[in-house]
Structure 1
Amino acid sequence: MNSTTRLLAASLVASAIGVGISSPVWAASDKTTLVVMIRGLDNPYHADYAAGAKALGKKLGLPVDVLSSEGNSQKQFSDLKAEIAKTGGNMVVNVDPNEAPDVVPIAKMLESAGVYWVSWWNKPDDIKVQDYPHWVAHISFDAVGQGYFNAKTLFKNMPTPNKGSIIAIQGMLSNNAAIGRFQGLQKALKETPGVKLVQWEAADWDTNKAYEITKQLLAAHPDTAGVWSANDNMALGAVAALKEAGLAGKVKVSGTDGVPDAFDAIKDGTMSSTEYDDARYQAQLGLSMALAAKQGALDVKATPAKYRAFLIPGIEVDRSNVEKVVKDTVSKMPDYDLKNFYARWVAPIK
């Protein structure tokens, strides 16, 4: 392939993801692998990561590999090491680390291999994206805002609005999303003195654990008026426990992520709300940014700090808009506009 052909191929691919290109540093014949690292395909939210990546790979004619850690950080590390060896480092990565501490070993492996990457959700506060030349960006949804919205909506939908006892189901305790969402709950509680959190337990994002924990907490607190959950998978476990106790619908449950069963639960009145985090967009945005950096179309070093670590919004969903959100956003694969990587930018992560 001569230099003119390489430039044309690179320009075509860059155009497909909505960015320009200044030099022929990457060509379609290189077949850069698009890699997404997720917790597990059994989670509909993470399954959407894979779906989004595969749609982008099809659009660009590039291979896609999905690395599923099954919640095991050591598996996550070994799978990444194997992927680097398999591709010879000719890859870009969009990663949702299991927990914040996992970011540093992931960063070391990818930086050593010269692989451009984007992370989501989990990052230690003292680790700066700018210190790693191939770490294009760290992006997250506003977890505090999510926890707050879902808590306030839950409180309004309790048998006596804004009054009564609630229990809470936490996620993984060292997970940034879980931490932020719980902070949002605490903020809502401070603003609503009539609501009291009587007990909370961590279910590690797992539906079955949440089911068992909710059963135990309901036995200990039979006057529970609401269940706040840090994500939809656990919320659905709580709904199952409430159904078994004959309380589903009377005692509402809140969640976050926007998985299909959660939308159904909002429609039937057993869940009060969720916030839809579009993992398909997450995968395509992260991979497009990393690919643009690999191509030379995105100058990582020159990118302002506020665009290296930032928040984007989810979609707040309750019974008033659930039908519209499902119809317009969830039920089909959108053709995302990726011309502006920062179109949904809300605020920097400090």
Structure 2
Amino acid sequence: MLKFLCQCALVVCLPFSAVAHGATVLFLNPGHADETFWVSYSQFMQAAAKNLHLQLQIRYADRSAPTAVAQAREALKGEVRPDYLVFVNEEYIAPQILRMAKDSGVKLFMVNNALTPEQLSLVGPELERDPYWIGSMVANDEEAGYLMLSEIIRQHGPVSAGQSVDLLAFSGPKNTPAAQLREKGLYRALAEHPEVRLRQRVYGEWNKNRAYDQATLLLKRYPATALIWSANDEMAFGAMQAAQEAGKVVGRDVLFSAVNSSIPALEARIDGRLSALVGGHFTLGGWAMVLIGDDAKGIDISQFGGRNRKVPLLQLIDRQQAQHLLVQVRSETWQVPFARLSAQGKPASWHYPFSLNTVLQAP
């Protein structure tokens, strides 16, 4: 992982003018350069770019919306501009970036968090007519939230008539669409299981330490807690630490679920500390590179699935799948044939085969 970070830092420092060939792409990564999820995300994205002969640079915003907006302004208003800008609608910054991009000549693609209905109403239909707007791609976050809770309820098993099961939930930031959708899935699963009682839902902000502090208090308040739902792995691990300190046996007394495909999450799924793990959305950036590569070839990617895509990337990962993914994540190599996923030469009925299974089936 350290080797990759060093390589990534080197790529970030190269000016676009130094690139010898291929379309240039700048990705505004909203996370930290040492943040597990966003590092694996960037790693997969870099592997795709290399395979597709795209020149990718990555800048980290360190979880700061003002920093991300400033980085976008520099890219869109500066003298040397990328051919494509890829960004995330984290903390609702997309409309600002879209306004800045006007007349910049830079093509835009959004990943992970799409425009909210309110934002769409502000931006207006003109966005869909903008030739520089390539589109967006998001994962099935609502389904992820639903799958996680449904699975740990299934593993818990039925309860006697008149009895209930206590649940705690750790959601992400209030103003992040992906977190909101995962929470929506949580409530859909709850509606199907009246025997499960949600004792409290808190906002852990994706942060392990914050979730640990919250869980320490909540487990004292609700000592019968048997299920803990977390919108990412870091919060799950924070709550897991608190549960262990409270004398609970993780995986027996309390069942945990989480989202992500980090090394710790995959290891926890293999050894049973995570009873349910949903992953796959770390691949979004890599699939975006496939779409951008086709656009750079002059292919109308909207003909193969539309401009704005919701891809069913997030799925439950069993222990065998976790072991397969763990080998690839640890080796920092991805043997995915990205170039073969191009729409070039494909019939009109063809759709891009983006899924976690594409990764799992790679050697």
Report the TM-score range of the alignment, normalised by the length of the smaller protein: 0.7 to 0.9
The Cα shift of 1:35 comes to 1.4
Aligned residues: 314
What is the CA–CA distance in structure 2 between the aligned matches of 1:263 and 1:311, rounded to whole Å? 24
- Per-residue CA deviation, residues 38-92 of structure 1 (Å, 9 max, x unaligned), is 2223332211222123223434555432121111110001112223455622331
What is the CA–CA distance in structure 2 between the aligned matches of 1:108 and 1:305, rounded to whole Å? 27
Unaligned runs of 5+ in 1: 1-27
What is the CA–CA distance in structure 2 between the aligned matches of 1:48 and 1:276, rounded to whole Å? 12
Unaligned runs of 5+ in 2: 1-18, 344-349, 356-363
**For residue 137 of structure 2, what is the aligned residue in structure 1?**
139
Aligned-partner SS, 1:188: helix
What is the CA–CA distance in structure 2 between the aligned matches of 1:328 and 1:90, rounded to whole Å? 30
What is the CA–CA distance in structure 2 between the aligned matches of 1:289 and 1:79, rounded to whole Å? 23
What is the CA–CA distance in structure 1 between the aligned matches of 2:176 and 2:207, rounded to whole Å? 14
The Cα shift of 1:219 comes to 1.4
What is the CA–CA distance in structure 1 between the aligned matches of 2:179 and 2:272, rounded to whole Å? 25
Counting only pairs closer than 5 Å after superposition, residues 1-350 of structure 1 correspond to structure 2 as 29=20, 32-40=23-31, 41-60=33-52, 62-85=54-77, 88-99=80-91, 101-122=92-113, 123-126=115-118, 127=120, 130-158=128-156, 163-247=164-248, 248-249=250-251, 250-279=253-282, 281-293=283-295, 295=296, 297-299=298-300, 303=302, 307-314=306-313, 315-319=315-319, 321-327=321-327, 332-335=333-336, 336=338, 337-340=340-343, 342-344=351-353
Report if aligned partners of 1:72, 1:98 keep a CA contact under 8 Å in 2. Answer: no
Q: What residue identity is the alignment partner of 2:150?
A: K
Q: What residue identity is the alignment partner of 1:211?
A: Y
- Per-residue CA deviation, residues 120-159 of structure 1 (Å, 9 max, x unaligned), is 2322224165154322121111111100100011112337
Cα 1:262–1:325 change in 2 (3 A) is same
Q: What residue identity is the alignment partner of 2:173?
A: M
Aligned-partner SS, 2:215: helix
Instruction: Report the aligned-residue RMSD.
Output: 2.8
User: What TM-score do the two structures reach when normalised by structure 2?
Assistant: 0.77
**For residue 359 of structure 2, what is the aligned residue in structure 1?**
none
Q: What residue identity is the alignment partner of 2:277?
A: T
Report if aligned partners of 1:93, 1:290 keep a CA contact under 8 Å in 2. Answer: no
The Cα shift of 1:325 comes to 4.6
- Per-residue CA deviation, residues 297-336 of structure 1 (Å, 9 max, x unaligned), is 1337xx3596111211223213464334545788641323
What is the CA–CA distance in structure 1 between the aligned matches of 2:176 and 2:159, rounded to whole Å? 31
User: What TM-score do the two structures reach when normalised by structure 1?
Assistant: 0.80
Cα 1:30–1:345 change in 2 (3 A) is closer
Aligned-partner SS, 1:112: coil
- Bigger relative CO (Cα 8 Å, ≥ 6 apart): 1
